[in-house]
A and B are shown apart, each in its own frame.
Chain A
Amino acid sequence: MTLASPTLPVETPAAKPRRSNVVIDFCRQQPLGAVSFVVIFAMMFAGIFSPWVAPYDPLSIDFASLLAPPSAEHWCGTDAFGRDICSRLIYGSRTALVIGFTSSFVGSTLGAILGVASAYFGGRIDNWIQRFVDILLAFPLIVLALVVVAAFRKFTVAGVDVNLIVAIAIPIIPRVARVVRSAALSVRVMPYVDAARAAGYSHSRIIFRHMAPNVVAPYLIMLTAFIAQAILAEASLSFLGLGVTEPTAAWGLMLSGNAADFYKQAPWMILFPGLAISLAVFAFNLVGDSLRDFLDPRFKV
């Protein structure tokens, strides 16, 4: 792998100790980002270990506890089926993370490949790709996701709606492609890329082995930032009845359905899922920003 870092400052003996431990450096320089990481790790922990963490079965109906307010028994109250909201939030983090991370990963990765390829080939190919990207960028993320999910319906594999992931991933592709292309354009003119071409390496080898690794920083930043957007899109689509279906525990779904009928009587039905979505989106956005600040050498000057 060839690393190009012509803009990085020359390491000085004084600067070296600050980078001796990346985690400590990150925490010191980006405290909000560090807190956000903790929130995300907590979410991941809750999602992975939800059967042990959740106090109740999230699907278990209890008509005797219908719309019970928050109490020692039910920390976040119960919904219109008497289901424990806290347990559904904990299980819901699985849905949010699986769909959020997978959509963002697929969309960002495809976008990065498209962006690097566009920058590498240039000329007419670049022009065509960028005009296509322009068309996709003209649609807001949620609108494009709505169209895709409505067109393809549901296709579940192991309980996960693949089409929902695709629907959220597609609008991410052009956004990442545009950003990554701009980073890749500067890499494209590096002498080692010319050298690789002169050596007769294939296009795919040059793109994947010599250019792509040098745009990892913007890729990672976009990846984390779009996890937040994907979680929000999943919640929005579920709210609109196009995402996951009942009785699956999902934050957006918890805000829809009969929550609209009972929110005045039982405001906790919408308060806690709303808080969970806000917190997750906030945390992923902050992590994205912090990573950008931490990894981008221009912010070090």
Chain B
Amino acid sequence: MKITRRTALQGTAGAFALGLSGFNFDFTKAEAQAPNVKRGGTLNFAISAEAPHYDPHGSDTYATLHFAAPFYSTLLRFNLSKFPQVEGDLAESWTVAPDLMTYTFKLHPGVKFADGKELTSEDVKATYDRMRNPPQGVVSTRQPTFADIGEIQTPDATTVVFKMKAVNAAMLEHFASPWNVIYSAKDLADNPAGPRTKINGTGPFVFVEHVKGSHVAGKKNDNYFKKGMPYLDGFKGIFTLQAAAMLNAVQGGQVLGEFRGISPAERDRLVQAMGDKIRIEEDSWTLNLLVCFNTTKKPFDDVRVRKALLMAIDRWGGSVGLSKISTLRAVGGVLRPGSPYATPEAELVKLPGFSKDIKASREEAKKLLKEAGQENLKFVLWNRNLAMPYTPAGVFLVDQWRQIGVEVEHKQSDTGPYLATMNAGNHDVAIDFSNLFMDDSSLALSKYLSLSRAPENRSRSTDPELDKLYDDHIRERDPEKRKALIRAFEKRVFEQGYQQPILWWHRIVPTHKTLMGWKMSPSHNLGQQLEDVWINT
């Protein structure tokens, strides 16, 4: 491996830091990694959904992140060249106490918000306070993640200290979450819900405009704290809700890429049409679609009905067919198949909804519906109107449930109303998503916690037993015991059938070969600040 100034500095920082140490990245030398960088130009890229609002703290859809990430910074972030290692963003350096109870971050000096105000440790404190303890009227989907933070201290303007109430072994990675964008303390004091509609960040780009139904545009932040960056003069994220429009835009060069992912058939179409002008990158994806029952509505408050509906789904057969026509691929439990703590297939097939004997499973499902007095069950399946892969998933589920005599009306809606309906609990059954940025179980399992702890739990279930299992597993540092607790959690979730993964996704990203510096990862939430992206014209 080539030893660069960056790796040398990382090593130096590691040697001097107390406990676990972070990276110290001299951004003035960033260009050393890309000596042929060409500056200037505007990057046009496709976003297949429009952001329901601008606030990543209260969102779990990539539509918000692809829209907002270029305008903001985070404390840490993932190094996509060495995923899942973390690196500093606003943090110049950091230390972690050996007992994992104290995290100290030293911020880059002279960082400025787009409105000209200088960033201080108070802004970081206000941001994390908002996420862990959201004020009235503010939704924070990060609340469970940061519930273990006891106190945030700001000894000086560039130092932030997080004192933990309890150990969370994955806390450092959580600090690198792309959703934890730093807001101005003054903005939050003026209006805690302000970031939903107003953008003021310290990121590589400054917000220019959002034309609803059309695009979001940003221009280069001349005061960006990483000198010499970004390389681009600006960007335009163009909303292409129709897959055909997005593919035509990529093919015609109106956009240089779509960073979420396309289906295998779409990939083949682009490759056939564009030959060596298109770059295709593939990876497994830390993302799954879930079937989610509104447990506060009848008859979905009855576990027999929920289990019956889950048992009617032939995931193994569906995986074979759907993987040919959509981004859906792997059968898995609450953790990404193949990841260190994921449940192996031999154990998975014993859980409700994962049997390979689909005939027997459906017979059992019919019996359960009969017992529950729901032989003529009818309901509305609420879904997002994204062609890939929501529509194929909806078509698949409707077919699966018809096979046990259940009549389903499939309703699809734009991202905004789709999320609003589910968040308000106005759905019967919905196709939801679990959008992770890493494989850590404390992140993946949090979606299944009781509604009071996890606003993104759209089954609206309350289950103290699950909450306890979650808390126990976070504290557990023995890998085998931790694994056992994850299995127990997963079994409980599926036995109760509140919500369950349908299939996990496979990520295929098309970009023009003129687009440089963008890095592929297993999550479409990562690497969207676009600071080191450039166009090789």
A residues at B contact (CB < 8 Å):
57, 59-61, 63, 66, 80-82, 153-154, 156, 159, 240-241, 245-248, 256-258, 260-262
Contacts and interface: CB of A to CB of B under 8 A. Distances in A.
Contact of B265 (A153, A247, A258): A258
B241 A241 contact: yes
Given A241-B242, A245-B412, A261-B266, A80 B325 contact: yes
Contacts of A57: 402
A260 B251 CA distance: 14
A256 B399 CA distance: 20
5 contacts: A59-B398, A63-B321, A241-B242, A248-B410, A258-B387
Contact of B399 (A59, A159, A240, A262): A59
B265 A262 contact: yes
Contact of A59 (B266, B268, B321, B402): B402
B410 A241 contact: no
Contact of B395 (A81, A156, A159, A261): A81
B321 A246 contact: no
A63 B410 contact: no
Most buried by B among A82, A154, A247: A247
A245 B324 contact: no
Given A66-B321, A241-B242, A261-B269, A246 B409 contact: no
A57 B398 CA distance: 13
B241 A61 contact: no
Contact of B410 (A240, A247, A262): A247
A215 to B, nearest CB: 40
B394 interface: yes
Contacts of A245: 385, 410-412
Interface of B: 241-244, 247, 263, 265-266, 268-269, 317-318, 320-322, 324-325, 385, 387, 391-392, 394-396, 398-399, 402, 409-413, 417
A27 B417 CA distance: 53
Nearest to B394: A246
A240 B241 CA distance: 10
B422 to A, nearest CB: 16
A63 B410 CA distance: 20
Contacts of B411: 154, 156, 245
Most buried by B among A63, A153, A159, A240: A63
Contacts of B265: 80, 258, 261-262
B263 A156 contact: no
B58 to A, nearest CB: 24
B410 A246 contact: yes
Contact of A246 (B242, B268, B395, B417): B395
B385 A247 contact: no
Given A246-B394, A247-B395, A257-B387, A63 B317 contact: yes
Nearest to B402: A59
Contact of A240 (B242, B269, B417): B242
Given A153-B413, A156-B411, 11 more contacts: A57-B402, A59-B402, A60-B402, A63-B324, A66-B325, A81-B321, A159-B409, A258-B392, A260-B269, A261-B269, A262-B265
A63 B387 CA distance: 19
A66 B321 CA distance: 8
A257 B388 CA distance: 9
A57 B405 CA distance: 13
A262 B266 CA distance: 9
Most buried by A among B385, B396, B399: B399
Contacts of B410: 245-248
A60 B392 CA distance: 13
A66 B241 CA distance: 26
B324 A257 contact: no
B385 A241 contact: yes
Contacts of A241: 241-242, 385, 387
A60 to B, nearest CB: 6
Given A154-B411, A156-B409, A241-B241, A258 B395 contact: no
Contacts of B242: 240-241
A261 B321 contact: no
Nearest to B264: A261
A153 B418 CA distance: 12
A21 B320 CA distance: 61
Contacts of A153: 413, 417
A81 B325 contact: yes
Given A154-B411, A246-B394, A261 B399 contact: no
A258 to B, nearest CB: 6
A66 B317 CA distance: 13
Contacts of B244: 256, 260
Contacts of B392: 81, 258
A154 B247 CA distance: 26
Nearest to B391: A246
Contacts of A81: 321, 325, 392, 395-396, 399
Contacts of A59: 395, 398-399, 402
A177 to B, nearest CB: 31
Nearest to A240: B242
B429 to A, nearest CB: 15
Contacts of B324: 63, 66
Given A59-B402, A245-B412, A246-B410, A258 B385 contact: no
A255 to B, nearest CB: 11
Contacts of A248: 410
Most buried by B among A61, A159, A245: A61
A248 B266 CA distance: 23
Most buried by A among B321, B396, B402, B409: B321
A159 B411 CA distance: 10
Contacts of A63: 317-318, 320-322, 324
Given A247-B399, A257-B387, A61 B321 contact: yes
A139 B318 CA distance: 45
B409 A82 contact: no
A257 B269 CA distance: 14
B263 A261 contact: yes
Nearest to A61: B399
Nearest to B242: A241
A247 B395 CA distance: 5
Given A66-B324, A261-B265, A261-B266, A61 B396 contact: yes
Contacts of A246: 391, 394-395, 410, 412
Contacts of A159: 409
B262 to A, nearest CB: 10
Contacts of A260: 243-244, 247, 269
Most buried by B among A159, A246, A247, A261: A261
The 8 closest A-B pairs by CB, nearest first: A63-B321, A261-B265, A61-B399, A247-B395, A80-B325, A260-B244, A246-B395, A245-B412
A283 to B, nearest CB: 29
Most buried by B among A80, A159, A248: A80
